Amino acid sequence: AVRMTQSPSTFSASTGDRVSITCRASQGVSSYLAWYQQKPGKAPKRLIYAASTLEGGVPSRFSGSGSGTDFTLTISCLQSEDFASYYCQQYGNYPYTFGQGTRLEMK
C-alpha cells in the first residue's frame, strides 16, 4: 500500500498566518491526491482534489500543489474557522490511503 506521511503532526499558529502542510507518498500517485478538513465530531470535508483543484465553495485562501510524491496544502491567511485537522489522501493506487493527519491549533 502507498504510505502517506504528513508533516507536521501538530502545528500552532495564529489568525492571519500563512501555513503549509506537506504530504509525501511512498510511491508516485500522479495528481490523484485530495485534502480534507475535519472538525471535531464531524465528517471530513473535501477541500482540494486532483492535487490543486479547489472544491466549490471553499475559500480561495486554501491552495494545493505538487504531483508524484510530494504535495503541499497552503492556507494563505489563517482564519479562526480553519483551526481543525487536515488529511491528505491518495486515490491513484489501490488501496486508497490517508495521511495520519495534521492538527492545526491556535497559538
Q: Count Cα neighbours of 40 within 13 Å in the Cβ-side half-sphere.
A: 4
* Cell of residue 73, nine digits: 496544502
Dihedral of alpha carbons 89, 49, 62, 84, sign: negative
Q: How far is the CB of 39 from another protein (least distance, A)?
A: 12
Coil/strand/helix, residue 80? helix
Q: Which residues bind another protein (CB under 8 A)?
A: 32, 34, 36, 42-46, 49-50, 55, 87, 89, 91, 94-101
Choose between 65 and 100: whose C-beta lies nearer to another protein: 100
Q: How far is the CB of 64 from another protein (least distance, A)?
A: 13
Q: How far is the CB of 46 from another protein (least distance, A)?
A: 6
* Cell of residue 78, nine digits: 489563517
